[in-house]
Structure 1
Amino acid sequence: MHKLLLISAATLIVSSNAFAADMGVAFEWGPTKKCFDSKSPPIKLSNVPQGTAKLLIKMIDQNASSFDHGGGSVAFKGQAQLPYGAFKYKGPCPPSGTHFYKITVKAVDASGKTLSSGSATQPFSKK
């Protein structure tokens, strides 16, 4: 009976973690005014899981996914926003018209295990 209770409890814990809410990510270009600005835009975060030690950030141009914009990593200390310039990367610069850029943020623990992730997409026009 005791083993059955332990197995049931372990299953419940695993199940509840599997359905944890995704991390919320939102951004606006803010101070990003020119092509290839090397400073990241301000990023708002919500539902960052407990145990997060670092945030890994990556940006892709959804209209030109082969161009590597890179990203960065930021130590997580409970902040709800990453300020403009929190990390360096290759900023947006569509060759013409408007492109859509997706920023993905992964929350990882001290061992590097991904705890959650979230993303947001915004348009950017060459300026």
Structure 2
Amino acid sequence: MFFRFLSLAAVALTLQSAPVSAEFRIAFDGSGLQRCTTGRPAVVNSPAFRISGLPAGTKAVRFRLKDLDVPHYDHGGGWVEMTGDGVVPPGKFRYKSPCPPGRVHQYEWTAVAKTKLGGGKTLGTAKAQRKYPE
């Protein structure tokens, strides 16, 4: 019985001390985006992204923009090769800018961590939202 107790205690101690991986997150800076409310988006350079908790084994991230008020419209996105957590500078790819027709819409960037550029296994997904224009 004593050894069984020690085994359970060792398992509990191991579980408590196991490292917890950081959550995959993105944030973006849309401050340089030219105001557009005509409903006719322009093709523009991507914003800067801050990435944290990038899953182990990630070689590339695929970014896509979605207008949550008009989800069928394809704003596009792009691929970025990754070397670690940090900042993805602006202009790494081009996409169709937010440009709702005369009212505020909710937009969402989705970042999908992949094992290779252009495809491979999905290792994680992160999302960030913002209203435009604000």
Q: Same fold (TM over 0.5)?
A: yes
Three-state SS of the structure 2 residue aligned to 1:72 is strand
How many matched pairs? 109
What amino acid is the match of 1:47? G
Residues of 2 paired with 1:112 and 1:20: CA distance?
Answer: 22
1:114 aligns with 2:116: no
What amino acid is the match of 2:129? T
User: Which structure is larger by alpha-carbon Rg, 1 or 2?
Assistant: 2
Gaps of 5+ in 2: 1-17, 37-41
Structure 1 residue 34 displacement after superposition: 3.6
Three-state SS of the structure 2 residue aligned to 1:89 is strand
Three-state SS of the structure 2 residue aligned to 1:117 is strand
Structure 1 residue 105 displacement after superposition: 0.2
Residues of 2 paired with 1:26 and 1:122: CA distance?
Answer: 10
Residues of 2 paired with 1:41 and 1:47: CA distance?
Answer: 19
1:82 aligns with 2:101: no
Structure 1 residue 39 displacement after superposition: 0.8
Task: Name the residue aligned to 2:53.
Answer: 47
Identity rate, percent: 33
What amino acid is the match of 1:28? D
CA RMSD of aligned residues (A): 2.1
Structure 1 residue 77 displacement after superposition: 1.2
Tell me the TM-score normalized by structure 2. 0.73
Divergent runs of 4+, >2 A? 19-22, 34-37
Normalized per residue, which structure has more strand? 2
Task: Name the residue aligned to 1:30.
Answer: 31
Gaps of 5+ in 1: 1-15
Structure 1 residue 28 displacement after superposition: 2.6
Could you tell me whether the CA contact under 8 Å between 1:98 and 1:124 is conserved in 2? Answer: yes
